[in-house]
Every structure is written in structure tokens, then in C-alpha cells.
């Protein structure tokens, strides 16, 4: 059997999650974001968009520039359902945020050979040994991992606006056979310190990029992307 070659994660990857319309997505890309994440089929929080609206948004943006990339972020744990959702939206990446079985992940890999597959590791939901075991279990199919924050009060796994213990994420980066993206409470004011401490392959932010109305703020987006890029450049020295 030919060895599996995963899709390439961009160097110094930046993802911004949660948009309401095409203009907001284009604002993210103009600020320097690599991938815009669209949360759908969630266990916590309400999606910003319906699945039909998400598909229309992606089609509108990619008609203007087919190189712009989107990720579906979902708790869907059925391989066929997750693959169908990703294809229906027209996304180039899929972030599995829930407890998908390793066998389902392998099935998903065969269903979506051209899609970047990311598996979330929720810091605080399990102890560090459990996170390491989860990482090893999903490494055969995942192209990248993403560490995010568990909120024990709400039960939310991500989009909490809270950071977690970065030393845990740092050790996962050191142990992981795949690139690791850092998420959880990241804002322009802490992203440089986060990159320096964790040395991830990329960063992801959601609520930390929003204005009071919940929309992505241009100045915040631009500052976040610029400071993240500068911090990643520092790691390369």
C-alpha cells in the first residue's frame, strides 16, 4: 500500500473561527488569516450560520478567489455525516471537535483524501496522559491536532475565551507526530507569548477577535495576524 501523504498545513498557520457573512470572511483573509473556520452541528453554542448559508458563503468567497480556504468545525462523530457536511459546505478542511472514534477517523480519511483533517484535543477535559493517548490514537488519520480549552462551568469545549495550561500544550507539541495548532483564549495581547511558550505549528482564535456585536473586528484581526507572524518568525531564528 502506498504510504499516506497528508495535506500540507501552511507554515505559521492562522485560523479565525466564526463568521456571519462573506464580507466578514474576506476581512479575515485580508488581515492575513489562512483559513476561516465555520462552526456547525455543535454540542455547545449556537452556529453563526445555517448549513445552507455556510455553503453559500463559501461559494461566494471562493468564486472571487478559489485559493481562499475554509474549515468546517463540528462535533459530528459519524464519518459519513461529517464527510457529507464538509462536501456540502465546500470546505477545504475539517476540524473534528468531539469524541470521534479512531475507526471513524480512518474512514473519514478515505472519504476525504484531499481535505485537511484536524482533531481537537481539549485540555482540561482529560488529564495529560489521556490527551497523549488520544493523540496517538488519532495520529494515523489526522493531519494536525488543535489544543483548546475546556470550560467546566458550561461544559463547552472551545469558544470559551479562556486560555489553558500552555505547558500541557507544549508537551503535546513535543510528543506529537503531527503538527499542533494552539487555540483557547488567544488575543492580540497574548498570541506572541503563546507562540513563544508552546511553539505550535499554528494558532486559532474565535471570540478574541470579535467586537461587542460578535463580528470580527478588522483592527483586532490585523493585530492578531501580524503579532502571530512575528512570533513564528522568531521561532525560526
Rounded CA gap, 204 and 144, in Å? 13
| CA proximity to 69, closest of 81, 80, 78, 61 | 61
pLDDT at 214: 85
**What is the percentage of the chain residues whose pLDDT exceeds 70?**
93
Residue 168 clears pLDDT 80, i.e. is over it: yes
Q: What backbone phi and psi angles, to 5 degrees, belong to 15?
A: -120, 140
What mean pLDDT, rounded, does the chain reach?
Answer: 91
* 5-35 per-position pLDDT tens digit: 545 677 799 999 999 999 999 999 999 999 9
Q: Could you give the CA distance from residue 237 to residue 234 in angstroms, rounded to a whole number?
A: 5
Give mean pLDDT, residues 51-73.
96
- Nearest by Cα to 95 from 33, 183, 174: 183
The half-sphere exposure of 150 on its side-chain side, counting CA atoms within 13 A, is 13
Question: Is the separation of the CB atoms in 119 and 183 below 8 Å?
Answer: no
What's the pLDDT band for 237 if we cut at 50, 70, 90? low
pLDDT of 1: 35
The closest of 232, 2, 9 to 118, measured between CA atoms, is 9
Q: φ and ψ at 183, to 5 degrees?
A: -135, 175
Query: What pLDDT, on a 0 to 100 scale, did the predictor assign at position 156?
Result: 66
Give the architecture (CATH level 2) of 13-235.
Alpha-Beta Barrel (3.20)
Q: How confident is the model at residue 182 (pLDDT cuts 50, 70, 90)?
A: very high
Angle (nearest 5°) at CA 230 between 223 and 205: 50
Is the separation of the CB atoms in 143 and 177 below 8 Å? no
Amino acid at each position: 500500500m502506498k504510504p499516506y501523504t497528508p495535506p500540507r498545513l501552511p507554515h505559521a498557520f492562522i485560523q479565525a473561527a466564526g463568521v456571519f457573512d462573506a464580507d466578514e470572511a474576506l476581512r479575515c483573509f485580508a488581515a492575513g488569516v489562512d483559513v476561516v473556520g465555520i462552526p456547525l452541528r455543535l454540542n455547545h453554542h449556537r452556529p453563526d450560520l445555517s448549513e445552507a448559508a455556510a455553503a453559500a458563503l463559501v461559494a461566494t468567497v471562493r468564486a472571487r478567489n478559489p485559493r481562499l480556504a475554509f474549515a468546517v468545525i463540528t462535533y459530528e462523530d459519524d464519518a459519513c455525516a461529517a464527510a457529507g457536511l464538509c462536501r456540502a459546505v465546500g470546505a477545504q478542511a475539517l476540524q473534528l471537535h468531539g469524541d470521534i472514534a479512531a475507526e471513524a477517523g480512518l474512514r473519514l480519511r478515505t472519504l476525504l483524501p484531499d481535505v485537511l483533517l484536524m482533531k481537537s484535543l481539549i485540555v482540561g477535559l482529560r488529564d495529560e496522559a489521556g490527551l497523549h493517548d488520544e493523540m496517538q490514537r488519532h495520529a494515523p488519520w489526522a493531519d494536525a491536532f488543535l489544543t483548546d480549552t475546556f470550560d467546566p462551568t458550561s461544559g463547552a469545549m472551545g469558544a470559551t475565551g479562556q486560555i489553558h495550561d500552555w505547558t500541557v500544550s507544549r508537551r503535546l507539541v513535543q510528543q506529537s507526530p503531527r503538527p499542533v495548532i494552539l487555540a483557547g483564549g488567544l488575543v492580540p495581547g497574548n498570541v506572541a507569548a503563546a507562540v513563544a511558550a508552546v511553539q505550535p505549528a499554528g494558532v486559532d482564535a474565535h471570540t478574541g477577535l470579535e467586537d461587542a456585536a460578535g463580528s470580527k473586528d478588522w483592527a483586532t484581526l490585523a493585530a492578531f495576524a501580524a503579532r502571530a507572524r512575528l512570533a513564528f518568525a522568531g521561532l525560526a531564528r
